[in-house]
Each structure stands twice: as structure tokens, then as C-alpha cells.
Amino acid sequence: MVKINTWCLRCPDEPSCAPGKKELLNCREKPHAASKLWKDFADNQSCNESTMLHNDELCLKLITEVTKYFQQGVAAANEGSNDVPHSLIVQQVAQNLSDSFGQEVTKQHLEYAYQKVKSATSKSSKSTKSKGKLPTSSTTNASTTASTSAPAAQSSDKTAWSVPKPQATVHNATSSIANLNLSNGADTAEAGSNTTATSVPSSSAAPSIAPTTSETPSPAIDDKTTHAQPPSVIGAPRPRKDANAATTSVFTNHFTIDLKPGIKLYEYQLVGLMNKGADLSRSKKKVMIKRKIESTEILRANQDKFACNDSGRIIAWKELYPNARLNDIVDNAPVVDYDRDQQNVVSRQINVDVVFKRVIELDDLQNFAKGNKQDYQETGAASALDILISRGIRGRPVSNGQDPIIQIGDNRFFTPWETHDFGRHGMIAIRGYSSSVQPVDGSLRLNVNTALSAFYKKQKVSNLIDFYHCESELLRLNFQHELQQKLVGLRVRIMYDRCKPGEDGGMDTEARRTKTITGFSTLNASQLNFTDRNNRLVSVYDHFMENYATAGNRSDPNQICVNTSSTVAGSECWFLPDQLQVVPGQIYSRTLDRLDPTFPGKMIDWSCSEPPENLKSIQDSGLAALGLKTGQPELQMLRAAGMRVQTKMLKVPCRVIPMPVIQYANTTKSLSNTSSWNTGGQKFLTQGGKLKSGVVHFLRQKVSKSEGPDEAKQRKIAHNIYMDGFMNSFQLNLTSKANVKKQYDPLFIDTGHGGILDLYGKLKSSQAGLFVLILPDTSKPSRGRHATFRIVADQMLGIPSIAMCEERIIGSASSDRPFNAQALTPYMANNAMKLNARLGNENHTVRAGFSKLLTQAGCDTLVLGADLIHPKAGCAAVTPTIAAVVGSVSKTFGKFTGSVRRQTAGEEIISSSNMVEMVTERIQAWQQLHGPDPPARILYYRDGTGASQYDGIRQEINDIKTAWNRMNKSSKVEVQVTAVVAVKRHNTRLYPAPGNPIGNKHNCVAGTVVDSHITSPYYFDFYLQSHQVMAGSAKPTHYFVLENGMNFTARELQDLTNNFCYVFSHSTSAVSYAAPAYFADKLCERAMLYLYQFNDNVPEISEMSEVLQQQQLKIAWERGQGKQSSRKNPWNSKMDDKMFWM
């Protein structure tokens, strides 16, 4: 059998490659073995460069995915005593690759990807001499992203550890892709590499291919480099509990799961849906799974003994094949597929095997939750229970006459009778629920929460196209671009009958009516010709009218056509869009603001249900949809599986942190029952930073020529009111309106390169110390002009700027008061807070709120915050992920300065080279105010998405220590680091219990903290609802402590974190999570504005070659660096000491 630690990518089956002599990419002993490259993959000789993966990052992803899935397959195979055929493992690998790449991956794809990656690595290896290391396979939902361009972690007596045997990994695990180091690649395809394949923990600092967005070699390895630690401990141990901590209680949307002792589940996997030429669409896969179950005697006879999800993962509470050993193929009968053009005619047979994967001992999971088995490795037992619980959802209406529930994956389901119509773009919002089983402190719990997502509604495709249609030929290219971005991949249904009387009716079955959009024509239906079955050249419109038109389905000859087949010229299959209907139940997976800037606001409004309403919805509709209410048949199934879900929400103890005291320069604000305050009569904490010039350049919308005299008059009055309100609220050295210039019209700001230079020339000549932009709304054109404005102000000029939205200005004024400058005071006062921070000042702090970070000698603590922002769906291929690190510079912890870097798109972990550089810059900024020694302590808040990132973020902690070590002149001390991950993307909610304090809108009061029952059984974590909301239900933030070098008690860190929620620079209320992480989030957003054209993939960029895009991206990023070649941050150096992005 192939062993996990001796596997070779290029000759995985070569028996003569002895253990220890294998190499990551080549086999020097058998150079001819390259001919055996993945012999079980399809050998599609038609592959050519035009169908390959040109993007280096995508090629790296392909190689990495092959590595990961092959490791998982072999790891699972090693759990059994029998050998698993290499062909079976490859089938499993191929099936997973199909899900990632949406196409059949052939030998040619792999070889091409390998050559591209090796070529790129050969160039980067000149600056990197360290050996390549391969991350171990990840467990379910675990991120194993390695560091990019990182210094290698050198083993020593203090850091060496043994590699544990990998756990079996479930086949449908959704884990982040780990980077694979391919440095020191051979110069030719057949040459051997000096890089040995070695499995190391994913948190180690393994070097990888330098991203195309960075040109800086990795820092040299030295004795100041901090090495990664063994991943045996996930987080910091929970401090001893304070017996007096909990003073009240709250309900939470968790339900306790009771399991009978000794329960076992049996997991099987359907493997083989990736045969050559198989249809890989999701709908086809579902059909094949259903046919396999119905055609396999044991599965068909035991359908009431198991649950199966859409990935073919079968979880049974009965042993279906008693004599099976792990990874045995217990059934290998093929599944028939039918001809798409002839009814009931078998076109092919697809080999779909049933493979016995493992036995799941639920006692182990239960003991882990109870705190009795800390070494338990969760590799899919909880998700197996998810599949069981959601078994009865798919296709089951809650009552007669209602549409079936829509299920997305194993954890989300939507009830299509609870909808809201957007009114545009053919979109509706559907209310639903999410559910997940979680092993938490004391027991297994089922978390159920409300959800709201956007879906395409049932409608003609022509209606959708009309939303993007533009009569102007100048915008025709953008019209096509929008259609490709928004509608390709959408499943549609042919509305008319294609079978003539007396013909086989198979073409009109629902399965064969359903198609997938692959593209659109540029010609109208009356102009677009094709050769029909009679070898006659005919237009698409004429063909329809001659063969299928009836009195009730007449069509339009002037509409474009929809392709549902190959995009190769001459192989298309064209349909008229007014004869196609969108299949309902398809979720919209992109960001809604790309459709319409008003859509996110509508979603927020529709989802703003107050806690009592949400609680009732979960307990009634949510549990009913899951089949967990009394009398529902699903309950009997769960009982047969040995499981019972309690239907009463869990009540947990909590503590309410006292409201802090807000400190200004002259007075303090004591908060009693609310977490908000006002700035009336207050002076900002510091105001030393001033405008270099008292002149303000006011960019506003001029009067339109199409407006009548009354409208023009009202608009002029409104703009004068804006300026009066601005001057009344801003604490600037303005003496008269003469210092406010207003000659430039923002509606003429162009988002292209020429527009940037034009605006730069105009603003530079004004000699102003502040630029103020007022845009009419938040539409896409306005967002583009806003980006141009920030590029010029931040990068090219280095002058503070303010952007305002006229819609929001007017909306801020009370409707029952006269519209004048005084009415705009709240809005303008908020912008005054922004400006004070952008001038390098602090607005306020929390009195005595940060004493734990100070000593008698002063401040010895640096507080860091970090986050990343990823490019949008549909962006230009070269658009990077942007990482940001901010650091405190004052002892009142209200002012932070920042650094940003680019890295490979999609990476969730900040690369080691970037992290070390940015932390070094933050330490240097701290030293400018606190002296030459680096800070003795560092508190790190990391904006995160969940447990899958913890291993990678642990490497960021090591990078912080590395940066500190290089700045430290004494080797006798070590920095104390406490690292806290702030997670907002979770589904836990807190609801006030009767008789306990109630906050705004029936939410829990601000400062509510829970650290038991729904937290980790072993590690230091807590939920904190620090804020109040104006509408809807508040979401607590989950804080998970990875390292506690500063030895905080639970109460100390909870109180400190709560205080940080009160120092967000331009907020007069507590924010929802710790300000350092929030600051980093905002800095990421600002830096992405500089790459607006790439992120939105405007035609000017999308028409370029990838090489030219890379060149333009580099220019866009470096606009603010001038001749300072050593600068890495993209803004003007005059902004370095200011929070200009806030």
C-alpha cells in the first residue's frame, strides 16, 4: 500500500521508490516514471493550452488540492488492514477535484499545472534555499493554509516534534487549501529535485511560492526567528473559573442533544461520479446518488436506516455490510445514465462504488464535550449528526400545498413561503434557518438560528436580461460583461414542448427540459444563424417560429440568445430567453451590492426581527422544519438512531460587565443603562494635529441643466446648508465661507486612469488642507468616483479627506424640524470625529479602562489588530487579498496606525514575510512615542472566521515574536503575547431570560458575557455582546484565546475587551467587537479602494492580458510611494502617523 509520508506526486504507484527515497515532485531513481503520472486520470489528448489553467495561483491550487485529497484518501486507507487499490484513491481524488474546478481534470491538466508551478518556483527559489515541506491533511473544516514567502521553521532540540499519524478525513470535508511548497524545483521536467516530501503540522512556517503580488524576498533565517509549536494544543487553557462571576442568566439558541451510551454510526461513501465524460453538475450528481440507492439492494431495503447528503456521504445507524473492513468496496455495480435525446435509452454506465469508510463512536464525541477526552480529534462525527438531523428536510413541505423546503448543504434550509421581493433583478429574499451540532462545554448541543438569503425567483430569463439591457451601443460591451458575471451558471427550464405528435416524448421530461446557462450571443435572434438537422442555415428565431411557436408562446426576434452548451464556436446550443424559465430555489451567492446598492439595506431591514420574534420563530418554525416537534415522523427516526433533541432552549449563566466611564479632554461621560452617549459640550481628547491649510476644497454636485428653476433653487439652498452645517461642526481654523471652495463637479470624475490624473491636477492646484466630497448616493457610479477621490487624496497628495453621501445627510435630519444647518449637527459631528482622527488626534478613551496594560513607569504594551479582505467574485484574476495590521501608539489606546500588504487571493492567513514586516513597522511606530526598547507585552486581536483558522493564526503569533526578537537588543527577556481571535461569523444568539435585565429592542444589555455551556470544554473563550442595536437582534462576538502570555484572568480579559469596544474613533456608542480588529478591517477596505478597477473588473481592466494586468496593479499599488522604493504601504508617507482611513 502507498504510505502517506512516502508518497510521490509524479509516480504514486512506483514500487521501487523505497520509503525515505521518495521526493515531492520527481523520483530520481526512476526518471521515466513521469510517464505514469496519475495513470488512472482521464487521458484526454484533446487538451491544449487554451483549456488549461493559465493562472499560476490556480495551478498551485490544483497541485495542492491533489496533494491534500490524495493524503486524505491514503490516511483513510491506512486506518484499515486491507490494501486499497490506487485506482480507487484516484477516483476519490478526481471526484473532489471536480467539485473544486468544475471540469474533468486530466493528466494534461496535472502535468501543465506542475510545469507552471515548477517554473514559477524556480524563479522564486533564488531567494529561498530552505527545504520544502508538505502540510498534513486537515480535519473537517480545518484550515491548513501555510505561510506565503515565509522563512522556514528550522528544527532544533527545543522545537522538534514527531508527526502524529493523520486521522481519517471525511470525504466531503470543506477545508481551506494548504499552500504547498514547491521551491528549488528542477530545471527540466525529468530532472530530480532536492526537495524531500515531509509532512509537518500546518501551523509551521513552511515557505511557499512567492505571490505574484509581492516582489520582496523572504527575510533571512536567523536566531531571532520564532519556530512553530506542535499543534497538540489548540488554544490557551481556560483560567480557573470565578465562582462569583455569573450574576444572571440568558437563553441561547442551543438545544441539548441526549445520546444513548454505546451508540455507533457507520459511514459509507459513494465514489466514482468522476468517470471520464460524466456530467458533473450538482443536479446530475443528485440523480446519480438517488439511482445508486434505488438500484443497490441493501441500500434500497434499508432507506429508513440511513441518511445520505448531496455529496454521497451515507451515515447509517445500522451496520449495512456487517463483514466489511475499512475502505472495502462493498458494492461496485454501475449506475445507468440515459440518453438526453431518446427516452429510456441507456447511453452509458457510470461506476459508482459504495465504500465503507469507518465506524463513528459517539461516546468519544460525548466524552470530549464533557471534558473527559481532550485528545479526541473531531474528524466529522458532529457533521455526521448534522446529516442525520437534516435527513427529513429535503423535498418535504411543512403542509400540503406549500413548496418544498430548499436545503443548501447539510446545515441551511429555507422555507419558500416566507419571502420578500426586491422588486428588481428578479430576486427574492427567502427566510430560513441554519443548524449545526456542536460539542461544547458539558454536552452536545444543536444550534439553530434564523437566516435570510437572496434567491432567483421563478421568471422568464428575458425578464432578467432586461434588467441589464442598454440601448446604447457604447455600453454594449458592459452589458455583455454584466450578463456573464451575473447569469452564467444559472439553471433554466425550457417552457415549450419540443416533441412533435407521434415522436418520443423523452425530450420533454423535466430532467431534459433543465439546462444551464453558459453564455450569451452578441447578435439578435433574427441575426444569429446555425445549421439545423436538415443541414439548412437558419436563424435561431426562424427555427423556433417554424417548429415550436404556438399562439400562446410567440417570441421576440430582437432579443439576444442564451447558450446552454459548449462555448466553443460552432458547438453552442441556442435558446430564446423568453422561452426559458429560471428554475426556482437557486441561491444568489455573490455580494448583493453588485446587483443593486440598495439590496444590502433591504436585507438588513427584512432580517431585523427583535429577539422575542426570532426566539419564537426558531422554537416553532425552525424546529418544525427540522422535524423535531412532537408528533413529527423524524423524531422516531432519531430515536431509532439513539438520539433525542430537547425542544427547550438552553438557559445559561452570564455576567454583565459594568458600563465604563468615557474620558474626554475636559470632562467625563458616565454611562448608566445605555452604551451610547453624545459629544455635546465635549472637547476631543487630543487636538494637536491641525490642517496645514485652512482652505477646504468642497466637491459637490452642481445644478443639472435638466432641472427646472425651482428645483435648481432648492438644490443650491441645500448645498449652502451642507456647508453651513460643516463649518458649524468642524473644529477647524476656518473664518469664513471664502475658505470653502466649491468649483468642481464630482459627477464628472472619471474612474479610469485619465480621470485620476485629471482630478489630481485640479486638487493639487487648489492648495487646500482638506478635501470634502459630497456624492448624491451610494450607487455603483458614485462608488467609482469615491474610489478615484481616495486614490488622489490618500496616495497621490497625502491630504486628509472626507466623503459624505447626500442621501444620508438628508436622512439624518429629523422630519419634524426645519431643514437647516442645526438639523445636520448629529451627522456633521460624526464626521468631525472622523476628521479629528484623520488629523492624527484622539477623540476619547475609557477612564482607567486600560490599567492592566500600563505599569508605574508608563506604557509597556503594544496592542495589535489584524484582518484581511478578499477580492469580490468576478474580480480581475490578478486582484490580491489585502492584509492589514494596526498598532497602538498612545497610552490611552485610542490612536492606532497601520500597515497593509498584498498577498495571494483567497489566503486566510497573513503570510510570514508580510506579518513580520508589518509588525516591525508597528513596533517602530510605538517606539517613536515610548522609547527605544520594544514593548514588553503585546496584545493581539485578530479578526477571524472560526476554528478552521486557529492553526494558521498561531503562525502569525510566532511571526509577531520573530519581529519582536529582531527589534530586541537584549536576549535575556521574551515578549509576553496574548492573542485573541474575534469571530463574528457564527450563529449563537443570546436572549434575556424573564426577570433579568433587558436592553434596547428586547436584547440583552450591553456588556453581557457568557463563558460556559456553549463554549469550549477545555480552552479560554467567551461570548461578549458589547453593544446595543437600534433594530433587530444583537449578535455577540465569540472571542477565542490562542495564547495568554500576559496571564489574564477571564474577568480581566473580558473587561479589557469590552473597554476596547468603546474606543472606536468616530462612534459615540460601543461597537460590536474589539476596536483594534475593527480598525484593521476598515484599513483593509480603504486599501482595496485603491484597486477598485481590479476588484470590480471594469472593462478597461478585463480586456487586458494577465501580464498587463499585473503591471497595472503594481502601478496602482505604488502610486503613493513616489521615489521611495523601500516603502511597502500604498499611501503617501504624509499619512503614516494618522488614522486617515477612519
Tens of pLDDT, residue by residue over 1012-1049, are: 999 999 999 999 999 998 888 999 999 999 999 999 99
Confidence of residue 208 (pLDDT cuts 50, 70, 90): very low
Assigned CATH for 687-839: 3.40.50.2300
Q: Dihedral of CA 930/932/933/938: which sign?
A: positive
Confidence of residue 202 (pLDDT cuts 50, 70, 90): very low
Q: Is the pLDDT of residue 6 over 60?
A: no
pLDDT at position 592: 86
Q: Residue 967 region, left (φ>0) first, then alpha (ψ -120 to 50), else beta?
A: alpha
**DSSP string for residues in 278-344:** ----HHHHHHHHHHHHHHSHHHHHTGGGEEE-TT-EEEESS-SSTTPPTT-EEE--EEEEE-SSSTT
As a whole-number percent, the residues of the chain with pLDDT over 70 amount to 75
Q: Is the pLDDT of residue 24 over 50?
A: no
Q: What DSSP element (H or E) covers 1066?
A: none
Query: What is the CATH topology of the domain spanning 845-986+996-1097?
Result: Nucleotidyltransferase; domain 5 (3.30.420)
Average pLDDT of the segment spanning 816-840: 86
Helices (H) and strands (E) in the chain, counts: 27, 44
Q: Is the pLDDT of residue 34 over 50?
A: no
pLDDT at position 174: 29
**Range in 35-39, 736-740, 993-997, 1133-1137 with the lowest mean pLDDT:** 35-39
Could you tell me which residue, 923 or 105, shows the higher pLDDT? Answer: 923
Could you give the CA distance from residue 647 to residue 663 in angstroms, rounded to a whole number? 46
Could you tell me which residue, 913 or 140, shows the higher pLDDT? Answer: 913
pLDDT at position 552: 77
How many CB atoms within 10 Å of residue 446? 23
Maximum separation of any 2 CA atoms in the chain, in Å: 96
As a whole-number percent, the residues of the chain with pLDDT over 90 amount to 48
| DSSP strands (E only) in 96-237 | 134-135, 199-200
**Range in 261-275, 358-372, 474-488 with the lowest mean pLDDT:** 474-488
pLDDT at position 647: 93
Confidence of residue 27 (pLDDT cuts 50, 70, 90): very low
How far apart, in Å, are the Cα atoms of 108 and each of 4, 38, 349? Answer: 24, 10, 25
Could you tell me which residue, 309 or 121, shows the higher pLDDT? Answer: 309
b or e along 1062-1098 (b: 16 or more beta carbons within 10 Å of the residue's beta carbon)?
Answer: bbbbbbbbbbbbbbbbbbbbbbbebbbbbbbbbbbbb
Confidence of residue 823 (pLDDT cuts 50, 70, 90): confident
Burial (CB count within 10 angstroms: exposed 0-12, middle 13-18, buried 19+), residue 1053: buried
| 762-787 residue pLDDT tens | 999 988 899 999 988 888 888 999 99
**Range in 2-6, 639-643, 1018-1022 with the lowest mean pLDDT:** 2-6
Confidence of residue 1059 (pLDDT cuts 50, 70, 90): very high
| 561-593 residue pLDDT tens | 999 988 888 889 999 999 999 999 999 988 888
pLDDT at position 70: 61
Distance of CA 1001 to the CA centre of its chain: 30
Could you tell me which residue, 235 or 349, shows the higher pLDDT? Answer: 235
How many CB atoms within 10 Å of residue 600? 15
Cell match 474528524: residue?
A: 379
Confidence of residue 158 (pLDDT cuts 50, 70, 90): very low
pLDDT at position 383: 93
Q: Dihedral of CA 404/409/414/420: which sign?
A: negative
Q: Is the pLDDT of residue 1007 over 80?
A: yes
| 669-688 residue pLDDT tens | 888 778 888 877 788 999 88
Mean pLDDT, all residues of the chain: 80
Vertex 233: Cα angle to 228 and 238 (nearest 5): 125
| 946-976 residue pLDDT tens | 888 898 999 999 999 999 999 997 767 899 9
- Taking Cα atoms as reference points, which of 284, 274, 276 lies closest to residue 516? 284
Could you give the CA distance from residue 204 to residue 230 in angstroms, rounded to a whole number? 8
pLDDT at position 99: 62
pLDDT at position 471: 42
- Amino acid at position 72, single letter: Q
Q: What is the DSSP letter of 840?
A: T
- Taking Cα atoms as reference points, which of 810, 812, 808 lies closest to residue 786? 808
Q: Is the pLDDT of residue 491 over 90?
A: yes
- Taking Cα atoms as reference points, which of 163, 140, 184, 154 lies closest to residue 23? 184
What is the C-alpha end-to-end distance of the chain, expressed in Å? Answer: 58
Q: Is the pLDDT of residue 866 over 50?
A: yes
Could you give the CA distance from residue 289 to residue 738 in angstroms, rounded to a whole number? 75
pLDDT at position 33: 36
| DSSP strands (E only) in 505-619 | 514-516, 519-524, 529-531, 537-539, 560-563, 574-575, 580-582, 586-587
Which of 39-48, 351-360, 467-476, 692-701 is most confident? Answer: 351-360
| 395-434 residue pLDDT tens | 465 555 667 889 888 889 998 888 999 998 899 999 999 9
Is the pTM higher than 0.75? The answer reads: yes
Could you give the CA distance from residue 971 to residue 948 in angstroms, rounded to a whole number? 34
Three-state DSSP at 938 gives strand
CB distance 415 to 431 below 8 Å: yes
Q: Is the pLDDT of residue 221 over 50?
A: no
Vertex 452: Cα angle to 463 and 881 (nearest 5): 85
Assigned CATH for 459-583: 2.170.260.10
